[in-house]
Each structure stands twice: as C-alpha cells, then as structure tokens.
Structure 1
Amino acid sequence: MTIPGSARAPVRPHKPKILVFVGGYLPGYRFGGPLQSIANLVDRLGDEFDFRIVTADRDLGSTAPYPDIVPQQWHPVGQAQVLYLAPAERRLAVISRILRETPHHALYLNSFFNPHFSTLPLVARRMGRSPLTARVILAPRGEFAPGALQIKQSKKRVFLAISRLVALHRNLIWQASTQREADDIRRATGPGNIVCATDLPRQPAPLLARRPRAAGEPLRIVFLSRISPMKNLLYALEALAEVKAPVVFTIHGPREDEGYWQDCAAVIARMPSNIEIVEGGPVEPADVVPALAQHDLFFLPTQGENYGHVIGEALEAGLRILISDRTPWRGLAAEDVGDDLPLGARSAFVQAIEQAAARRDRIEAAERSYAFLAKAFDVADTLEANRMLLASALPRDVG
C-alpha cells in the first residue's frame, strides 16, 4: 500500500498553515460536536488561515467510505483541504509521513484520547519522526468533564498515567471552551498553558415558521444527539416514564453504543401508555433545524458538553430547552427559554416537562428562544478568541 502524504497538499504561501487532525469531518455528520466545531472554524476563519484536515474516510459507524474519495489525495472541502484516511492507513508510519510532508505552522488536535488522530501524531513527534518546529494545540472537546471521565474510567486512568510518565502531552497549548473546562483540564493533566476559546457557532438561519400545538395535542419532545452514555438518553427515558402528561418523544441520532441502546430499548418497552416513542434515526446537518422545529421541547440531560452545538440549533429552531447544568448554556429559566437542571434532581426534570405540557405560548416562546441564541454568546469576541488561539501557536515570523 502506498502511504498517504506523498500527494502533498496544495501550497498557499500567504496564509498561516494549520494542520488539523480530527476523528471525523465533512461530509460526515455523526461524529457530533468536534466535527461541527472545526467546520465552523474553517467557515469563519478560512480567509485568514490555510486549514489542512486529516480525518477518517467514513462516517461514525459506517463500513463504507464516502463516495468520490480518492486515496492519497487532498480534497477541497469548503475553505479547507482534506485528506481522508482508511482504517488501514491510520498507523504511525502514515501519520509520520503526513506530518513530515505537509507544510504547516501549527498542529491542531481535537481529542486527548483518540488513538489515531491525537495519540499517533504526538507519538510521531515524540519519536522525532516529524518536525518539532510547529507548536501543538490540543482541544479535548469535553473529554475531561467528570461525566466523560467516568465512561471507560479504568482505561482512561491508565492512558493518563502513561501520558504523564512519557511526557507525551508536554508543552502543548490546551484549548478550553469555558473556564469550567479549563478547570477540568488542570485536574486531569496538571498545570499547563490553557487558552479559553469557545467553540464557534454556525451562522443561524432566520426563524422558521411554525404551527402552534393544538389544545389537547401531546407535548412534542425531541432528543437529537449520539446515542451514548455521555448524552444520557437513558436518563431522559427514565424521567419521561414518570411524566403524567401525554407526550410524543422523538429520538434522533446514530447508535454509537449498541449495548447502551439495548438498555434504552428495555425502558422504552415498559413506557406508560401516555408516552409515545418515535425512533427517528440520524439526521443530516441541513435537516437538523427543520427536524427540531417540528417539536415543542428539546431534551438533552447530557453528562457534559464543552459547548453543545445541538443546543444552539434547538434554540435556532425556536424550541424550549431542557438540559443538564453541565453545559455552558446556563440561566435558561431567567430568560424563560427553558431549564438547566442538576442530574441529581430527576424529579425537577419531570416537573419541567409537566410545566412545558401545560404551556400554550409556542409562538412567543419560539421568538424568545431565537433571541436568546443571538445574545447568549458574543460571536465577535468568540471569533477573536479563536483567532488569537491559532495565532498563539504560530512562529514569530508567521502571521
């Protein structure tokens, strides 16, 4: 097999070159937040930086590569150049050659625990198989949140110990989306150079027209995320089982963990008659907001989000929001757009659903949610923080 990287990325001499490794990228959509974060970064800063992205050649859970992918070639995707790697190509020799032959001023990794798209690039640098002049930014994307660390806890503890022992993650620039994530990074890895730069949101579309829920019609609740322990669908189902109001609950998202889905299916099988469950499956990015807009309430009792793009999309769709207090989206009740509640108080989630079922101000609520999205995060400040994050990794004579 010929090693990818021999086909060099197109050279663009005037913009700083950022080499990005990320587990999944466009045209995929099942990888969730990290994919969306990088896509939004490229969309908003692609005029200023030359992004070359190395990623998987297929979507999460798929056995087939994306159509029209040519092995060993860089593909233009929006304002980035993308190199797609098949499973057999995700190995040290391949990664080393990509690092060595792809001109770049900074290396941007989007996971701490991903073995192929984070660990291997760092190992290649550690072994001297790639240039050491480019600084490394590592965005753990919420992987150090307490809820995230509890999943496969033993394996993660072992990897963290090995990382410290061999100094694999020494002298990095850590990206935190919030101060809470910065604290999580320090607890997991110790003192370090941590820069706060919130994930960039996408440009919201105009608020969609909507049909008010008719009197007597069930409350329409939607869950849209990966079906995995981190997103906590099982908790949502267990809370719904205690609700007395009539509800139609639609589940959208790929089954990332089949064993976890079986646990969810067992709860669905004994759901009371007032709760109807609809399995909607995955939704392509262009259809997310229209799909969400068919509902009244977005329910995501997540165990932790460093940003939560889908929460922003639910607000863009005009939905009321019911989420855990483990995301940056806080103060929802004060703005009358939803609730952010502690997971230890399941009865509070049940009560919030009952109250949502009793509401009838869907048009006004949609306008409040959409307006809250516009003021929740200062896009100009967020854009500048991301620009400065990338600039901080560049050599002094570049930029």
Structure 2
Amino acid sequence: MSPDGSTRTMNVPTKFAVFAPLFPPATLGGGPIRTLKALVDSVPTDTQTLVFTSDRDMGQSNPLPVRSNEWLAIDGVQVYYGTASSLRSYLRGLGEVRKERPEVTYYNSFFNPRFSLFPQLLGRIGFWRGAQILLAPRGEFGRGALAIRPLKKRIAVAVYKMLGLHRGIAWHASSVNEAEDIRAVFGETTRVLVREDETSLPIVAEKPPAARVDGPLRIVFVSRLNPMKGLDLLLRSLTLTQATITLDVFGNSEDLKYVQDCQELIDELPVNVRCTLHGSIAPESVRGIFAEGDVFVFPTAGENFGHVIAEALSVSCPVMCSDVTPWSDVLRQAGCEVLGSRDPQEWSIAIESFAALSPHEVRERRRAAGAAFDCWSQVDKGEHVFALLARSAFV
C-alpha cells in the first residue's frame, strides 16, 4: 500500500553496496569505523551487503593486513579493499562492485572524493544501473564541521547541487539535529531517514570499582586529534586550574599542525597538571582506558552520534561534554556536566568542581553514568536504516 492509499508493486532493495574510506581492520578513523562495522553486522537477514573500501588506514602508506583488490569474506560480509591511490586499481574495484548489481549505494561520507563524490557522479551517468542512493554525511554538515576549510566545502556543495547530484537521494541522519543540519544545506523538502547509529557495545554497563584509588583527578581524552574534537580547549582550560590533575590523551594524530599546537599548550601547563600523549590505541582497548579514568572531558565542536561517549558510559565513566551532541539529555540524566560555552574559563570551573568531589561522590557519579547507559541501551532504536529505506514510504 502506498502512502496515498493506492496499491502498487514495490521493488524492495535487498543488495546494498557500502562505500567507505575506512573499514576494519583500519582503526585510525576512530568511532565512525566501529559504528559502520556495527551497521554492516546488523543488517536485516534478507539483505546482502557489500563493502568497497581502502586497503590503507587513515594517513598510512603501508597497506592493511588484508589481500588487496579482490573480494574477501569478512564476518559474513563481502569486502573489497581497493588500492585507491592507484587509479587503475581503484577503477577496477568500482567495476567489481558494478558487476554485483547493487540496488542501493550507501555512502559513509559526503565530502570524500573517492568513496562518495566520484561514485555518485558515476551513478548520475548510469554506471550503477539506477541504484538508489542512501548517503550518511556523518556530521559533515554540522556548524563546527563546516567552519573547518569552509570555502572548499562551500564550493563542493555548490558544484554538487549544480550537477543535480542531490536530486532523488535519501540521507541517513544519526539524530534529529543532524537531519536539521542536512536540510539547512539542501532544503526543507530533503528526504532524511533518522536512525541512531548502531553499536556493538554491551546492553548493560560495566559496574564502577568499589573504591577510588587516592590521587589526582584522572581525566581521559580519547578521540582523533583534530580541531573538531577540542583538545586545545581542554588544555587551555587546564592552564587555569588549581587542582592536581593527570590528563591522558589517546588518539590518532590526524592533523599534525594541530597536534604541534597542542604540544605547545602542553608545554605551558602549570606544575599541578601532568599531561601524556599516548598516541592511537586499538579499538578493543578504548573501554578499558575509560574504566581507569575518573572522567572523560570532551569539548567537541559537534558530533553526529559520538560513539566514544557511548563507550565511556558503558564502563560507568562520567562524561563532561559540550552541548552539540545527541547525548546531552542522557548525560544530564547521569548528572554529567553539559556545557554550552567554548570559553576555557567555564570548562576550568567545571573541572575544578569535579576535582573537588569526594571519593564517594566520584563513585556515585560513575554509578549514575552506568545507569544512564543502561537506560539508553534498552530503548528500542527502531528498524535498521536499510529496512527503513525498503519501506514504501521511502522508496
């Protein structure tokens, strides 16, 4: 039955080709890789999913430990790790995907040229034989994201519209806020499916330790090191604190100039603050890192989902976060600090307040963080986004 009440035959798509610049065993792209893997692993049983991705991790010249430029069965999913730096290998990979005749092409980025823009352009000229398009921009249209290299992004969007690539596609937003960001760029009538990102986290949070070990406040920062994630704001706020604090930073040095700027801020920290840059870590180690900290301080400029926030809460680690993520209500429920300012002074005050808590109060904050995660994880998230697309209202 169609939305207008008439009966018509539906061609329900069952074969999806996922285009993504990074896919496991790649790790340096952080949470988006893990959410994409969870999305692929949880597709409806009557759906076949193919993944076309790069055989290199983010910013790396050496290939991943996989066979390149051929189809591989990875956890029941066919994955093609193409050598995108070689034009011949890249085009051959696109041809291999075309042979599979996907009914839907799913793009896990908007601005990526090799794994989104160029394949979409090919679709416009019939290369994908009329396959539908489902596009997940992964927060790329958030205000904070668009403020980074804004001219380049405005030109890309203008050309995209000029070529008509935005017509007739569906968008996947991870939250209502991201749907609004997408419509702010492409118009109020833009078709957007809102479905929270998948995770492979446990249903119940890990319980906090029975007692906190005495010592300085242990702040943990886990994220890619780029201007969006706000490590520089955290460091500036720590220069204003009087409390004794240790800050452990984990993440891929995605923007080397930014990391250099952060290192200069670290060199200026007062003697009561000790900061260590640990570099990138394996995805399976992230939750253990949070379990050892007192609080995750995350002054991000915007998250379409924020997988790393879920990981922290899943081990009962409190989160101090900016108010530009879908997690604000959950965090407030947990008694966590949600800040609407990017003023280091205000973040410093919040950190000082947390540092002044007694061991018992810190444990109660941890208990509340775990309880909030349990409530969030048990809420019905609805159908998989691929199933949403297959419904008549969206086809």
- Normalization by structure 2: what TM-score? 0.90
How big is each residue's C-alpha offset from its partner over 1:282-328, in whole Å with a ceiling of 9 and x where there is no partner?
A: 11111110111110010111110010000000001211111110000
Decide whether aligned partners of structure 1 residues 162 and 172 sit closer, same or farther in structure 2, where only a CA change above 3 A counts.
same
Once residues 373 and 85 of structure 1 are traced to their aligned partners in structure 2, the CA distance between those partners, rounded to angstroms, is 37
Structure 1 range deviating more: 286-295 or 339-348: 339-348
CA contact (8 A) 1:225 1:254 kept: yes
CA contact (8 A) 1:316 1:373 kept: yes
Structure 1 range deviating more: 235-244 or 145-154: 235-244
CA contact (8 A) 1:22 1:34 kept: no
Structure 1 range deviating more: 321-330 or 344-353: 344-353
Give the match for residue 139 of structure 1: 136
- Are 1:372 and 2:372 an aligned pair? yes
Once residues 107 and 85 of structure 1 are traced to their aligned partners in structure 2, the CA distance between those partners, rounded to angstroms, is 17
Once residues 272 and 69 of structure 2 are traced to their aligned partners in structure 1, the CA distance between those partners, rounded to angstroms, is 54
Decide whether aligned partners of structure 1 residues 266 and 395 sit closer, same or farther in structure 2, where only a CA change above 3 A counts.
closer
- Are 1:195 and 2:155 an aligned pair? no
Once residues 192 and 185 of structure 1 are traced to their aligned partners in structure 2, the CA distance between those partners, rounded to angstroms, is 8
How big is each residue's C-alpha offset from its partner over 1:227-247, in whole Å with a ceiling of 9 and x where there is no partner?
A: 001111111111111111010
Identity of aligned pairs, percent? 34
Once residues 122 and 334 of structure 1 are traced to their aligned partners in structure 2, the CA distance between those partners, rounded to angstroms, is 40
CA contact (8 A) 2:172 2:385 kept: no
Give the match for residue 321 of structure 1: 319
Q: 2:49 aligns with which of 48, 51, 55?
A: 51
Q: 2:297 aligns with which of 291, 295, 299?
A: 299
Q: Once the 2 structures are TM-superposed, how far is the Cα of residue 103 of structure 1 from its aligned partner?
A: 2.7
Aligned residue for 1:84, secondary structure, equals strand
Q: Once the 2 structures are TM-superposed, how far is the Cα of residue 393 of structure 1 from its aligned partner?
A: 8.9
CA contact (8 A) 1:226 1:254 kept: yes
Aligned residue for 2:271, secondary structure, equals coil
Q: Once the 2 structures are TM-superposed, how far is the Cα of residue 94 of structure 1 from its aligned partner?
A: 3.4
Once residues 105 and 29 of structure 1 are traced to their aligned partners in structure 2, the CA distance between those partners, rounded to angstroms, is 29
CA contact (8 A) 2:339 2:347 kept: yes
Map of 1:89-238 to 2, 5 A cutoff?
A: 89=86, 93-94=91-92, 96-132=94-130, 134-190=131-187, 191-204=189-202, 207=206, 210=209, 212-215=211-214, 217-238=215-236
- Are 1:74 and 2:64 an aligned pair? no
Matched letter for residue 265 of structure 1: Q
Aligned residue for 1:256, secondary structure, equals coil
Aligned residue for 2:241, secondary structure, equals coil
Decide whether aligned partners of structure 1 residues 185 and 393 sit closer, same or farther in structure 2, where only a CA change above 3 A counts.
farther
Give the match for residue 337 of structure 2: 339
Once residues 343 and 302 of structure 2 are traced to their aligned partners in structure 1, the CA distance between those partners, rounded to angstroms, is 16
Q: Once the 2 structures are TM-superposed, how far is the Cα of residue 181 of structure 1 from its aligned partner?
A: 0.8
How big is each residue's C-alpha offset from its partner over 1:350-392, in whole Å with a ceiling of 9 and x where there is no partner?
A: 1221111112233333222111012235553x24152533424
Matched letter for residue 77 of structure 1: I
Q: Once the 2 structures are TM-superposed, how far is the Cα of residue 186 of structure 1 from its aligned partner?
A: 0.9
Aligned residue for 1:259, secondary structure, equals helix
Q: Once the 2 structures are TM-superposed, how far is the Cα of residue 95 of structure 1 from its aligned partner?
A: 5.5
CA contact (8 A) 2:205 2:316 kept: no
Q: Once the 2 structures are TM-superposed, how far is the Cα of residue 332 of structure 1 from its aligned partner?
A: 5.2
Once residues 102 and 302 of structure 1 are traced to their aligned partners in structure 2, the CA distance between those partners, rounded to angstroms, is 39
Q: 1:290 aligns with which of 252, 273, 288?
A: 288
How big is each residue's C-alpha offset from its partner over 1:181-234, in whole Å with a ceiling of 9 and x where there is no partner?
A: 11110111223111111111223265156363344x110001100000111111
Decide whether aligned partners of structure 1 residues 235 and 351 sit closer, same or farther in structure 2, where only a CA change above 3 A counts.
same
CA contact (8 A) 1:106 1:393 kept: no
Once residues 393 and 357 of structure 1 are traced to their aligned partners in structure 2, the CA distance between those partners, rounded to angstroms, is 53
Q: Once the 2 structures are TM-superposed, how far is the Cα of residue 281 of structure 1 from its aligned partner?
A: 1.3
Q: Once the 2 structures are TM-superposed, how far is the Cα of residue 25 of structure 1 from its aligned partner?
A: 0.5
Decide whether aligned partners of structure 1 residues 267 and 373 sit closer, same or farther in structure 2, where only a CA change above 3 A counts.
same
Structure 1 range deviating more: 32-41 or 289-298: 32-41
Once residues 44 and 251 of structure 2 are traced to their aligned partners in structure 1, the CA distance between those partners, rounded to angstroms, is 29
Aligned residue for 2:365, secondary structure, equals helix
Aligned residue for 1:45, secondary structure, equals coil
Give the match for residue 6 of structure 2: none
How big is each residue's C-alpha offset from its partner over 1:314-353, in whole Å with a ceiling of 9 and x where there is no partner?
A: 0012111111100001135642441111133433321221
Once residues 89 and 372 of structure 1 are traced to their aligned partners in structure 2, the CA distance between those partners, rounded to angstroms, is 47
Once residues 153 and 48 of structure 2 are traced to their aligned partners in structure 1, the CA distance between those partners, rounded to angstroms, is 33
Aligned residue for 2:120, secondary structure, equals helix
Which 4+ stretches in 1 moved above 6 angstroms? 393-396
**RMSD (CA atoms):** 2.3
Decide whether aligned partners of structure 1 residues 330 and 377 sit closer, same or farther in structure 2, where only a CA change above 3 A counts.
farther
- Are 1:262 and 2:244 an aligned pair? no
Gaps of 5+ in 2: 1-11
CA contact (8 A) 1:95 1:120 kept: no
Gaps of 5+ in 1: 1-13
Q: 2:246 aligns with which of 232, 245, 248?
A: 248
Decide whether aligned partners of structure 1 residues 28 and 383 sit closer, same or farther in structure 2, where only a CA change above 3 A counts.
farther
